Amino acid sequence: MTSTPMPLRLSSPTDLLSAIPYLVGFHPNDSVVCVAVRDTQRPCFVNLPVAGVDADGGAAVRRTVAYVAATAHTAIIVGYGSPQRVDAVAAQLHTALTSLGVAVPGVWRSTEGRYYCLIPGCAACPVDGEAYNPDTSPVAAQLVANGVVALPDRAALAAQLDPVRGRRRAAMDTACRRAVHRLQAMIGDNTGRIDNLPDHGPRSRLDATPGPAVQPAPTHVVDAGARALRDALHDAEQGRVLSDDEVGWLAVLLHLPAVESLAWRCTTDEPWQRQLWTDVTRRATPPLVGAPACLLASCAYLAGNGALANVAMDLALQTGFTSSMARQLEVALDAGMPPAQWRSTLRAATAGSAPRQQHC
């Protein structure tokens, strides 16, 4: 789910079809996008990859319908791809939404530079489609002028979170190993497992559900985590890139639940925060990627960038990471919760943490 980054006037199918790639963050292909129109609020764009719909037995369609019906009075459906791939999903959405009283004035498909109307009554659209060129659209030009980018596809978006490689990877792995040893020394532990942090080895996986014998980190360790978080946020806001040791130390400490909770409380929609958590996600050694990836997902979601939020959340889940807040964010993303509602959920869920101004 993605919301518009600025006021836009979309007065024709060409405007809408040209704008959608910029508003979801990439050019959809074999996807159906549902545009939810919500009174005075900006419309939201829900992207449904056809392959995902096929794989989950229609669960994604049902979630989208439930979200749109609960939050919008009108929806527009746009498919990108061949009729064999997208028309059936578009029809499912149309039937389900109209049965729940949601007005659906347009169902369109974009195929090889032409758009087609998929329901009776579309104005000014011949049976054989209408040619359009998104590259010459004034709406696309407005979005580009405001710094909005449409990547070639979802894979290109995911590639922005690819781990650093080569010498940078080796340096970061060494820094993360030093950070684990530093934490072990602080806590007086030589087992390699501190709170929910596992042995830092090539086969290790994060277990974010500690067993009953696992003790919370001592206060002085949590205080060190709070300082590392505060310093990282301050430096990122000033445009400074963290050193390898700073990234390693922060990545290790974020997997202590008390420090993770503080970090969730500090997340905002500021671009510099997204840059910080993107950088930590890419540089952290793989077993430590989960927590910063979740924080990146939260920051992106608060900014209305549902595409990046979902990509970051998928990456976190692939690491095996989980926590109470990560599970709440996963549910929110699956349900298409509006960013403003996620902000309220985040505030309520972290209300027990130390005051935000103390650590952020």
Is the CB of residue 257 less than 8 Å from the CB of residue 288?
A: no
DSSP 29-50: SSEEEEEEEETTEEEEEEEEEH
Topology of 2-152 in CATH?
A: Cytidine Deaminase; domain 2 (3.40.140)
Residue 5 pLDDT > 60: no
Give the pLDDT confidence of 90-122 residue by residue, as tens digits: 999 999 999 999 999 999 999 999 999 999 877
The whole-number pLDDT of residue 41 equals 66
Asked if the model's pLDDT at residue 328 lies above 60, the reply is yes
User: For residue 271, is pLDDT > 90?
Assistant: yes
Pairing of strands 2-3, 31-38: unpaired
> What local confidence, expressed as pLDDT, does residue 135 receive?
82
Measured CA distances, 299 to 103, 143, 266, 303, 351 (Å): 32, 21, 10, 6, 18
CATH 3.40.140 maps onto the chain at 2-152
> What confidence tens digit (pLDDT) does each residue in 137-188 have?
888 888 888 888 889 998 999 999 999 999 999 999 999 999 999 998 988 7
Its pTM stands at 0.79
